[in-house]
Structure 1
């Protein structure tokens, strides 16, 4: 009987230990992704490719992509685009900067591609959006 209790006790300790390790791993993963989000938010005008981001936080691109999706419930590219579009929207309604300048500030090398992405995201060109929202 004592042997059985000893086995059950050992199994319980192993289970608890693995749960603690898993929880610590989740906390570390969440911390890494939150740090990555802060970096992205502060560097929207920079090259934010998966390769660039992986070199900054020393994790493989594949791992970052999977980890980001698990923690944020959104893929990395969608997050970056959403943040860039929100920043562009703010600049359009609060400044008189040209579309070309805004495109550069939010990380687009081509203003034509920026206009296309903005239209896909908001349903309006940046000029139309500005005209409707800054009266």
Structure 2
């Protein structure tokens, strides 16, 4: 259950990264992470790049 929830949150965050100008920290809190650093670390483990790298590539 925890892995599913994490994957769901990360997927929702990718949508926000691609469609809003919200900061990484705002997105992290919006999708349920306790902080931007933990969110970025988890994002990198799942996708192999940081949220800012993902956003920069404009996916």
- Would you say same fold, with TM above 0.5? yes
**Which of the numbers 6, 9, 25 marks the counterpart of 1:100?**
25
Question: Does 2:44 match 1:111?
Answer: no
Higher relative contact order (CA 8 A, sep 6+): 2
What is the CA-CA distance between 1:133 and the residue it aligns to?
2.0
Cα-to-partner distance string for 1:6-53 (whole Å, 9 max, x where unaligned): xxxxxxxxxxxxxxxxxxxxxxxxxxxxxxxxxxxxxxxxxxxxxxxx
Cα RMSD of the aligned pairs, angstroms, is 0.9
Cα-to-partner distance string for 1:103-130 (whole Å, 9 max, x where unaligned): 0001011110000000011111000000
TM-score, normalised via structure 2 length: 0.94
Distance 1:112 1:87 in 2: 17
TM-score, normalised via structure 1 length: 0.43
**Which of the numbers 97, 104, 127 marks the counterpart of 2:52?**
127
**Which of the numbers 82, 90, 101 marks the counterpart of 2:7?**
82
Match of 1:133, SS? Answer: coil
Task: Name stretches of at least 5 consecutive residues in structure 1 with no aligned partner.
Answer: 1-75
Query: Counterparts in 2 of 1:68-79, with a 5 A limit?
Result: 76-79=1-4
Q: For the pair shown, which has the larger CA radius of gyration, 1 or 2?
A: 1
